[in-house]
Amino acid sequence: MKILKGVAALFVVGFVMIMAPGCKKGNSYVDKLSDLEKNACACADKDCADREFKNFLAIVEDMKTTKARVSNDDGQKLGMSTANIVKCLMSKGISPVDIQKELQKFK
């Protein structure tokens, strides 16, 4: 299971990093994911984690539809926030398989 979690986290971070190379609207996404990271890691139960996962997917969808471009520095920040979000969500019961499945929809 640890391997599956590690693979899921790497997949998600890679996915966000690929979607957000460049230089436009980066700070707002960094702020959004930073706020979401705090909320997701503060969740006390799976219901809260489910809500935050839906919020995460909405941000990823927005990044894709707006073709968001961020600086390399912001891309690294997005990657770190994403890794922490995924780790927190999985610790509250969100399956790594579910995370991968949902993110596949954005490819």
Q: Which of 30-39, 85-94, 98-107 has the lowest mean pLDDT?
A: 98-107
Neighbours of 4 (CB within 10 A): 13
- The mean pLDDT value for 16-22 works out to 47
Please determine, for residue 85, whether its predicted confidence score (pLDDT) is greater than 50: yes
Q: Are 26 and 68 in contact (CB under 8 A)?
A: yes
- pLDDT, one tens digit per residue, over 22-79 is 434 446 999 999 999 999 999 999 999 999 999 999 999 998 888 888 888 988 999 9
Confidence of residue 13 (pLDDT cuts 50, 70, 90): low
Neighbours of 25 (CB within 10 A): 17
- The mean pLDDT value for 88-101 works out to 94
Rounded to two decimals, what is the model's pTM?
0.76
Please determine, for residue 12, whether its predicted confidence score (pLDDT) is greater than 70: no
- CA 90, CA 68: separation in Å to the nearest integer? 26
What's the confidence (pLDDT) of residue 70?
Answer: 82
Pairwise pLDDT comparison (19 vs 66), residue with the higher score: 66
